[in-house]
Amino acid sequence: MNEADFINQLTSKKHREKAFSKLLDLYQERLYWHIRKLVGTHENADDVLQNTFVRVYKSLANFKQQSSLHTWMYKIAYNESMRFLEREKKKTFSSLTDVSDKYLGDLTGDVFFDGDEAQLKLQQVLNDLPEKQRQVFQMKYYDNLKFREISGILKIKEGTLKTYYYDAVKHIENNITAVAYVEKIKA
């Protein structure tokens, strides 16, 4: 079934529930990991994912198909994640960097974090990046989104996104070994 037919089913009263169930099966895990990289912990990602799918369900009738369904849902997930982080910032922190630092600290204590040392070091280095640069890297590297799709989600020109991405790669290459070195000194 092509995307246009699937969207027609999603907006049809007769087929909406079954089509939405299929939509959940297709995108739930991918969106979860996209959100998880933005908000940090499993519990927060679950909450944001639920809000994302509620918003998707309520907004299907307004989907204008100017982008793919996939890109549209990623944008909603991204916006829900940013709303969540802004609410968290207002609660106890002064900046999104403070929120990121807190969630990086929470990550190691998260029972759902099954990463190894290399993944934790990568997260530490990513946490040092400016917010937009980190988001672009995560969407490109982890979610395998095309620069065109990321551009549609973040409303940033593709050339700027490429600069963000390749600067992030350079930063990671230059700093991943430094994190390992500092941790050896601390031990």
**Residue 138 binned pLDDT confidence (cut-offs 50, 70, 90):** confident
Query: For the chain, how are helix, strand and coil distributed in percent, rounded to 5?
Result: 80, 0, 20
Determine the number of helices (DSSP H) and then strands (DSSP E) in the chain. 9, 0
Note the pLDDT tens digit of each residue in 45-92: 999 999 999 999 999 888 888 888 889 999 999 999 999 988 887 766
| pLDDT score for 115 | 54
pTM (2 d.p.)? 0.68
Q: Determine the average pLDDT of the residues in 126-151.
A: 87
Lowest average pLDDT, out of 70-74, 108-112, 130-134, goes to 108-112
Residue bearing the bigger pLDDT, 116 or 71: 71
Structure tokens at 109: 């204590």
* Structural domains for the chain: 1-114 (1.10.1740.10), 115-187 (1.10.10.10)
Query: In the chain, what percentage of residues exceed pLDDT 90?
Result: 34
Note the pLDDT tens digit of each residue in 15-53: 889 999 999 999 999 999 999 988 888 889 999 999 999
**SS3 label, residue 143:** coil
Q: Determine the average pLDDT of the residues in 119-123.
A: 73
Query: In the chain, what percentage of residues exceed pLDDT 70?
Result: 78
Spatial separation of the C-alpha atoms in residues 136 and 147, rounded to whole Å: 9
Spatial separation of the C-alpha atoms in residues 154 and 158, rounded to whole Å: 10
**SS3 label, residue 1:** coil
Estimate the crossing angle of helix 117-127 against helix 96-109, to 10 degrees: 170
CB contact at 8 A, 16 and 63:
no
| pLDDT score for 93 | 52
Per the prediction, the chain carries an average pLDDT of: 81
